[in-house]
């Protein structure tokens, strides 16, 4: 068989210099598309900065000169006992106890990212396992697991979360657990639906005809095709979890004061926003920009992973 | 496929000593034996409590044998159960009834785990070269899959053997690390062939392997399959709806209609003296390359649609559309046996087979036949 003749066609050799075909994986192609997306890169840089801020929260606040719970009784509070607005000492102002809002936001970043990412990761893990089993192992397993997901999704989650935390007692770990518990079912549904369609593909049948077992088909043939939607959903689930965390903290069932989190800062600001706008605005902006960055990045990741939607946005 | 081609004009000469078309061959000679294979798909309604309202009779009692080294063509229109039969042969789906015996082993009641060692002997080539390869995996890993699943070989030796396979099917072994998306349809089908060939199976079931390809590429893949057959002594079950392809590759041809084999013959006999009216209609509908001949010939136009396989017609399943149908066809299901009337007498499932020289198209335009429902 003259394979060389077949594949080294004349036109290929003529412009072989720039035409050398590189077998790029779908991931490499998606990464290249994402790299070209300036908005996505800006969001990624912003998120990267947030991560750095969260990691180096204590040295940064040391450099600023205040701790997260330390009260500045001399300059951080007026004689009437009201918060002090943004000035050269306190860039973002202080709260009603004379604590520096910038430092508290920096520490709040730590809480938001840790809780948001951990809860999203836990939710995705549970969701993928349950969804994969529900989609792959036929109607009997599916009907049980799908009903479980329906039940979880139909919970009044805020009421349930408040009740649960009241019983168990608030802590960071409980908060992660609560958020993960109410988020996994949505992931599970997506994964289940995708698995149901992938299961019917001819390459799965081909693997079966070769004698592949269920586990091998699940991990080698089904899971790699699920990674794209799962990545997209994870990046979109992180901001949701961050907002969820803020909500719980706002309601007093998340992070316990005096440990700062964006949610309990906004909660504290409720009674002061008429005289101290900075108290409400800066934690609010931190929350908005963080969720916006994650959401935009998630959208871009989806565009990058699904080339068919590419033309809608470029040019 | 290695024997010389004979044109349909040659009078078919039955060999009295050899095995006849019914497949009553000696046991050693038979690789695949299907006995009364039935595959029904239940139609269920209800959300919580499902109950069966009917069954799709996809394959409804098929007896066939495939001899070692031959190519059995399986033709029929869309929805007649060809692909389901292929999946029954390779036991990709459980049978409703009947037996599948491959190389003397009854596979029909085996569990997936029990079947695993026998999977090495039978492989499939799929219709859709785009759907049958996982887009997220590299070609080398796809072709190496059979080695990995059956733990045949690993490491550098596996890579070497995969590259040998790629060379064998006419792919550049250097493209080992590429993805299916980097290949054309024909090249992808070669990947599928390489994967099927990896474990040196005895039987390859080709489920419309060329129908998704361009005509010029079809010829390349068919030639590849033919050369591999003579090199490795493969046995093919070749499913197609394109009669010219089947005529080219097959040693024997089975015609299916609504889940049943209605005619079974050596290739020259089938194309020279088709007995079943449906086969006649099918052959007359096939495209002819020569436009002069194409204008001259009489096409037999069947009226109506293929009846629903959920409730197939009584008696002969073809009777509502058959120009020769009579009351007996409504009442009695004809068996697949040799019928009188032509020198070769290959088996056909028809009470009133078409005589040589009979003009079926003329009957069609003529008088109404009893027992035939006219499509509105």
Q: So what's the pLDDT on residue B341?
A: 64
Burial of A108 (0-12, 13-18, 19+ CB in 10 A): buried
Of residues A100 and B6, more confidence is placed in A100
User: Per CB distance under 8 Å, which residues of B are interface residues toward A?
Assistant: 90, 92, 115-116, 119-120, 123-124, 126-128, 131-138, 145-146, 149-150, 167-168, 170-173, 175, 177-179, 181-182, 192, 195
Q: Do A210 and B146 touch (CB under 8 A)?
A: yes
| Other residues' Cβ atoms within 10 Å of the Cβ of residue A227 | 14
Burial of B185 (0-12, 13-18, 19+ CB in 10 A): middle
**Inter-chain contacts counted by CB atoms under 8 A, chains A and B:** 84
| Residue A117 reports pLDDT greater than 70 | yes
H or E stretch at A254: none
Q: Nearest by CB to B92, from A4, A26, A205: name it.
A: A205
Query: Mean per-residue pLDDT for A279-305?
Result: 87
Q: So what's the pLDDT on residue B194?
A: 92
Query: Mean per-residue pLDDT for A215-221?
Result: 89
Q: So what's the pLDDT on residue A129?
A: 93
Q: Tell me the CA distances in angstroms from B82 to B33, B70, B119, B299, one per residue in order.
A: 16, 18, 20, 24
| Residue A28 reports pLDDT greater than 70 | yes
Q: So what's the pLDDT on residue B228?
A: 92
Which candidate, B208, B336, B335, B360, places its Cα nearest to that of B273?
A: B360
Q: Which residues of A touch B133 (CB under 8 A)?
A: 203, 206
pLDDT classification of A131: cutoffs 50, 70, 90: very high
How much is the mean pLDDT over chain A? 82
| Residue A84 reports pLDDT greater than 80 | no
H or E stretch at B111: none
The alpha-carbon gap from B123 to the nearest alpha carbon of chain A, in Å, equals: 7
CA B247 from centroid of its chain's CA atoms: 12
Q: What's the rounded Cα separation, in Å, for the pair B317 and B325?
A: 11
Q: What's the rounded Cα separation, in Å, for the pair A179 and A175?
A: 6
What's this model's pTM, rounded to 2 decimal places? 0.75
Q: So what's the pLDDT on residue A121?
A: 93
Taking the Cβ of residue A6 and every Cβ of chain B, the question of whether any pair is shorter than 8 Å is answered with yes
For every residue of A277-314, DSSP letters joined together read HHHHHHHHHHHHHHHHHHHHHHHHHHHHH-GGGGGGT-
The alpha-carbon gap from A293 to the nearest alpha carbon of chain B, in Å, equals: 29
Q: So what's the pLDDT on residue B8?
A: 42
Q: So what's the pLDDT on residue B106?
A: 87
pLDDT digits over A248-268, tens only? 888 888 888 888 888 888 888
Q: Chain B interface, mutation test: which of A3, A210, A212, most B Cβ atoms within 10 Å?
A: A210
Of residues A25 and A106, more confidence is placed in A106
Q: So what's the pLDDT on residue A3?
A: 43
- Given a cut of 50, the residues of chain B with pLDDT beneath it are 1-25, 365-376
Q: Nearest by CB to A1, from B115, B137, B167: name it.
A: B167
Q: What is the DSSP letter of B11?
A: P
Q: Which residues of B touch A20 (CB under 8 A)?
A: none
Query: Does the ipTM surpass 0.85?
Result: no
Structure tokens at B99: 């037996």
Q: Chain B interface, mutation test: which of A139, A143, A211, most B Cβ atoms within 10 Å?
A: A211
Q: Do A205 and B126 touch (CB under 8 A)?
A: yes
Q: Do A206 and B195 touch (CB under 8 A)?
A: yes
| Residue A186 reports pLDDT greater than 70 | yes
Query: Mean per-residue pLDDT for A2-15?
Result: 43
Q: Which residue has the tokens 């079931």?
A: B205
Of residues B15 and A218, more confidence is placed in A218
Q: Tell me the CA distances in angstroms from B158 to A149, B133, B146, B231, one per residue in order.
A: 43, 19, 10, 22
Q: Do B132 and A203 touch (CB under 8 A)?
A: yes
Q: Rounded to the nearest 5°, which phi and psi values hold at A195?
A: -65, -40
């Amino acid at each position: 068989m003259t394979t060389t003749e077949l594949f080294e066609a004349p036109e290929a050799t003529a412009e072989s210099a720039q035409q050398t075909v590189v077998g790029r994986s779908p991931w490499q192609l998606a990464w290249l598309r994402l790299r070209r997306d300036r908005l996505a890169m800006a969001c990624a840089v912003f998120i990267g900065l947030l991560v750095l801020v969260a990691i180096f929260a204590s040295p940064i606040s040391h450099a600023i000169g205040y701790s997260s719970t330390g009260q500045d009784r001399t300059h951080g509070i007026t004689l009437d006992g009201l918060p002090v607005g943004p000035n050269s000492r306190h860039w973002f102002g202080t709260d009603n106890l004379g604590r520096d809002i910038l430092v508290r936001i920096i520490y709040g970043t730590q809480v938001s990212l840790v809780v948001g990412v951990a809860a999203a990761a836990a939710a995705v893990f549970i969701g993928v396992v349950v969804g994969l089993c529900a989609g792959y192992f036929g109607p009997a397993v599916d009907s049980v697991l799908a009903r479980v997901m329906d039940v979880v999704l139909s919970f009044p989650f805020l009421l349930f979360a408040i009740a649960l935390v009241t019983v168990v007692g608030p802590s960071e770990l409980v908060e992660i657990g609560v958020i993960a518990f109410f988020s996994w079912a949505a992931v599970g549904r997506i994964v289940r639906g995708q698995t149901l369609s992938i299961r019917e593909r001819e390459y799965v049948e081909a693997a079966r005809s070769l004698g592949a077992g269920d586990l091998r088909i699940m991990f080698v043939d089904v899971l790699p095709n699920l990674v794209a939607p799962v990545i997209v959903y994870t990046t979109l689930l992180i901001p949701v979890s961050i907002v969820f965390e803020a909500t719980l903290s706002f309601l007093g069932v998340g992070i316990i004061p005096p440990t700062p989190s964006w949610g309990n800062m906004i909660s504290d600001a409720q009674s002061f926003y008429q005289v101290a706008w900075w108290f409400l605005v800066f934690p609010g902006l931190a929350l908005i920009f963080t969720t916006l960055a994650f959401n935009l990045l998630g959208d871009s990741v989806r565009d990058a992973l699904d080339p068919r939607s590419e033309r809608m946005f470029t040019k | 496929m290695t024997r010389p081609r004979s044109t349909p004009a040659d009078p078919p000469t039955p060999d009295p000593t050899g095995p006849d078309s019914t497949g009553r061959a000696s046991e050693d000679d038979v690789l695949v034996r299907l006995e009364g294979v039935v595959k029904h798909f239940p139609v269920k309604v209800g959300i919580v409590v499902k109950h069966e309202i009917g069954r799709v009779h996809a394959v409804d009692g098929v007896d066939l044998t495939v001899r070692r080294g031959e190519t059995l063509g399986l033709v029929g229109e869309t929805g007649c159960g060809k692909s389901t039969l292929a999946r029954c042969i390779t036991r990709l789906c459980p049978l409703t009834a009947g037996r599948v015996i491959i190389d003397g082993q009854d596979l029909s009641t085996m569990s997936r785990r029990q079947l695993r060692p026998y999977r090495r002997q039978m492989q499939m080539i799929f219709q859709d070269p785009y759907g049958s390869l996982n887009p997220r995996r590299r070609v080398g890993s796809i072709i190496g899959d059979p080695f990995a699943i059956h733990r045949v070989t690993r490491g550098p030796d596996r890579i070497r053997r995969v590259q040998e396979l790629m060379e064998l099917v006419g792919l550049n072994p250097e493209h080992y690390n590429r993805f299916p998306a980097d290949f054309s349809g024909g090249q992808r089908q070669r990947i599928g062939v390489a994967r099927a060939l990896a474990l040196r199976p005895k039987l390859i079931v080709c489920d419309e392997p060329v129908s998704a390809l361009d005509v010029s590429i079809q010829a390349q893949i068919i030639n590849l399959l033919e050369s591999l057959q003579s090199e490795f002594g493969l046995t093919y079950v070749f499913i197609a709806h394109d009669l010219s392809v089947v005529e080219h590759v097959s040693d024997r041809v089975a015609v299916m209609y609504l889940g049943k084999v209605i005619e079974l013959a050596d290739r020259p006999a089938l194309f020279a003296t088709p007995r079943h009216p449906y086969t006649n209609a099918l052959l007359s509908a096939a495209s002819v390359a020569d436009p002069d001949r194409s204008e001259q010939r009489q096409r037999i136009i069947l009226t109506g649609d293929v009846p629903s396989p959920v409730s197939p017609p009584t008696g002969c399943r073809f009777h509502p559309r058959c120009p020769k149908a009579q009351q007996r066809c409504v009442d009695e299901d004809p068996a697949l046996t040799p019928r009188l009337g032509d020198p070769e007498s290959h088996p056909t499932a028809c009470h009133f087979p078409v005589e040589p020289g009979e003009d079926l198209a003329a009957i069609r335009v003529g008088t109404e036949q009893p027992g035939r429902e006219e499509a509105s």
